[in-house]
Structure 1
Amino acid sequence: MTIVPRAVSRSGALRHEALFYRDDDDYVTGVRTFVEAGLASAEPVLVVVPEPRHEALRRAVEAIAVPRHAVEVPREAGDGDKPEVRYVDMATAGRNPGWIIPGILHAFLAEHPTTRVRIVVEPIWPGRAAVAYPRCVQHEALVNLALGDEPASILCPYDAVALNADVIADAASTHPVLIRAGVPQGSAGYGSPEAVVDAFNRPLSEPPLTPSTLLFDRAGMAGMRALVAALAGEAGLAPDRVADLRLATNEIATNAVVHGGEPAVLRVWAEPTGMVCEVIGTSVLTNRLAGLLPAAPTSEQGRGLLLVNHLCDLVHVHTTDESTTVRLHMNW
């Protein structure tokens, strides 16, 4: 994993829009219009949506006539004279909402340090696991904080028919601009990103079964790691995934005992989708962007939660005035 902090070489400001589409044609038209505007301005384009959408979007984009001035930019092999349009499967690359900002958005910005970029990002769609939804809403709000000064235009499609009214209202609260039937307008429901993030800082549900529990301190870290590996291996998690879960849990556990009082609490259990490890410590995480921004090359801190977001399929963080709970999901 290499995430390089972006050195912005010219001024720019984020434009963060929600596209409310009602059917497939509306979806393709809205995305195509957004991409076409980027290609006309020689802006590299990244499309991060569920893979079943890729074919229709590729066909629509291939039909776009690109002005000659727009071809003198980096382009993907096989794209001929068209500026770069890259497609990424959100269901895979963005399965952990906490990895979208550092691993997808910041990474694409870092590849293009001298030009504005244009990105389609669909973090919430019908069929997305409900357990990830709070983190997805927090992600959308945090985009406005993490990338607010970046030269980027970001379009987030939302299915206005299949998604319920609460989801659409949450989208309006996290996007300054809304697009309906091709018409952009300011969002009357747009709220403070900090307030939205805090509103979704909700207590986590209790495990479906009684978890294995361990109190540990700094001297007990080796035993903690061994327990995670043993329980995950016995449950059938693949060896490489066991190693990733052990490493991720160790990062969170280390923070818990170094920055909080000892002991901390480890809970481990299996769910139908995979293994879950939870660490509860007495330190309070106050940085809303922790684990979402690349660490400076000279910094000795700021990489632990970033690594955890890279390794895990879902990461929940819940804070109170007295504690921080971090729950790690590793799928089978």
Structure 2
Amino acid sequence: MTVAGEFVHPALFYSSDEEYLDALVPFVTEGLASGEPVAVAVPGDRLRVLRAAVGAAADGVLWLDMTVAGRNPGRIIPAVLRKFADPHPDRHVRIVGEPIWAGRSETEYPACAQHEALINHAFAGRDVTIVCPYDTGALDAHVVEDARATHPEVWEADRRYTSARYAPDDVVARYNQPLPGVPAPAEFTVTGETGVRPARRWAAAYARSLGLDEPRVPDLELIVTELVTNSIRHATGSCRVHLWHTDGHLCCAVRDGGHLSDPLAGRLPRSPTARGGRGLLLVHQLADLVRTHTVAGSTTQYALLRLAK
């Protein structure tokens, strides 16, 4: 039985549809029977299997395809989890969230692992249960081991137990990595806020030459504006913007001499009445992937946008 005000965050290890449904169908239907809000955000194939098994009660659940809603792991907390949970402060909320699946790339995975770790801070003290399924037959062994570090509980087919390897902050630190294999990219140096507009124009023109779809150019312009403005205002007053093509994506990297000390920056929703603080949040909403590498005296924010095939 869940204690009011307690955040519960188990990793569900499954290797078959049967194990998946045996754990999640009761989790969903018992929540609905108790009058609790229930959301399910999992990949499309898992969504269809689970929705069919829930049956007639499925209309009472919010169903989301995580490959769409959570393509960028950095938008899952504000735009999926908190967006669903925050309107229900007086009731226990149940969520199934599967942000890591076999199709995730090696470039995406560090952001996925950090996301799973940061959920624990974003929901500390909240009356919410978020179950995160992991397909142990399809995922690499190190992914399953990381899940033991990012989740305080583990659910398996025949038992449920406290994870002895729970260490979410270690995971955040371990995956604080630069993007690998970066070529010699195009570069634009910005000094002061008067350089924001020229940087935006340069990025738009160069992105078009790399094949970015025209409807996505405004997204890139906003990303550059927010990242550069953030660097100018909160770091050393200057930064460098880099653009290059990588694995079917346009990568925009903004490097400055500051240090981003809060790993939840850009991952928490903002009150409509709050002033500022939405720049990184907007970047996460616009980009298909956001990665951050930050150490003393240097921070690089990477924003990736898919290119047309």
TM range (shorter): over 0.9
User: For 1:197-212, what aligned pairs fall within 5 Å after superposition?
Assistant: 197-207=172-182, 209-212=183-186
Choose the corresponding residue for 2:25, options 27, 32, 35: 32
Which residue does 2:48 correspond to in 1? 55
Give the match's secondary structure for 1:58: helix
Give the match's secondary structure for 1:130: coil
Choose the corresponding residue for 1:13, options 6, 21, 35: 6
Tell me, in whole angstroms, the C-alpha distance in 2 between the residues paired with 1:182 and 1:99. Answer: 33
Which residue does 1:72 correspond to in 2? none
- Between 1:263-272 and 1:136-145, the stretch displaced more is 263-272
- Between 1:233-242 and 1:221-230, the stretch displaced more is 233-242
Choose the corresponding residue for 1:266, options 241, 244, 248: 241
| Contact in 1 for aligned 2:149/2:165 (Cα 8 Å) | yes
1:111-134, CA deviations, whole angstroms, 9 ceiling, x for partnerless residues?
A: 323311110000111111221111
| Contact in 1 for aligned 2:4/2:92 (Cα 8 Å) | no
Q: Percent identity?
A: 43
Choose the corresponding residue for 1:129, options 105, 108, 113: 105
How far 1:42 moved relative to its partner?
1.5
| Contact in 1 for aligned 2:42/2:65 (Cα 8 Å) | yes
Equivalenced residue count is: 304
User: For 1:70-89, what aligned pairs fall within 5 Å after superposition?
Assistant: 79=59, 84-89=60-65
Matched letter for residue 24 of structure 2: V
Give the match's secondary structure for 1:195: helix
- Between 1:244-253 and 1:269-278, the stretch displaced more is 269-278
1:177-199, CA deviations, whole angstroms, 9 ceiling, x for partnerless residues?
A: 101114211111111x3232112
Matched letter for residue 32 of structure 2: L
Matched letter for residue 331 of structure 1: R
Tell me, in whole angstroms, the C-alpha distance in 1 between the residues paired with 2:100 and 2:177. Answer: 19
Give the match's secondary structure for 2:35: coil
**Is 1:116 aligned with 2:92?**
yes
Tell me, in whole angstroms, the C-alpha distance in 2 between the residues paired with 1:24 and 1:223. Answer: 53
Tell me, in whole angstroms, the C-alpha distance in 1 between the residues paired with 2:229 and 2:73. Answer: 23
Which residue does 1:293 correspond to in 2? 268
Tell me, in whole angstroms, the C-alpha distance in 2 between the residues paired with 1:263 and 1:304. Answer: 17
Give the match's secondary structure for 1:223: helix
| Contact in 2 for aligned 1:30/1:182 (Cα 8 Å) | no
- Between 1:29-38 and 1:100-109, the stretch displaced more is 29-38
Tell me, in whole angstroms, the C-alpha distance in 2 between the residues paired with 1:272 and 1:201. Answer: 21
Which residue does 1:146 correspond to in 2? 122
| Contact in 1 for aligned 2:78/2:268 (Cα 8 Å) | yes
Which residue does 1:71 correspond to in 2? none
1:71-98, CA deviations, whole angstroms, 9 ceiling, x for partnerless residues?
A: xxxxx8xx3xxxx211101001100000
Tell me, in whole angstroms, the C-alpha distance in 1 between the residues paired with 2:130 and 2:209. Answer: 43
Tell me, in whole angstroms, the C-alpha distance in 2 between the residues paired with 1:289 and 1:301. Answer: 16
**Is 1:169 aligned with 2:162?**
no
| Contact in 2 for aligned 1:117/1:151 (Cα 8 Å) | yes
Tell me, in whole angstroms, the C-alpha distance in 2 between the residues paired with 1:86 and 1:104. Answer: 10
Which residue does 1:43 correspond to in 2? 36
| Contact in 1 for aligned 2:178/2:292 (Cα 8 Å) | no
Which residue does 1:217 correspond to in 2? 191
**Runs in 1 of length 4+ with deviation above 4 angstroms?**
none
1:191-248, CA deviations, whole angstroms, 9 ceiling, x for partnerless residues?
A: 1x323211211232132x4311111112322211011100112222222211011101
Matched letter for residue 131 of structure 1: T
CA-atom RMSD, angstroms? 1.7
| Contact in 1 for aligned 2:226/2:283 (Cα 8 Å) | yes
1:146-197, CA deviations, whole angstroms, 9 ceiling, x for partnerless residues?
A: 0111111111000112212211110000111101114211111111x32321
Give the match's secondary structure for 1:104: helix
Structure 1 unaligned spans of 5+ = 1-9, 65-75
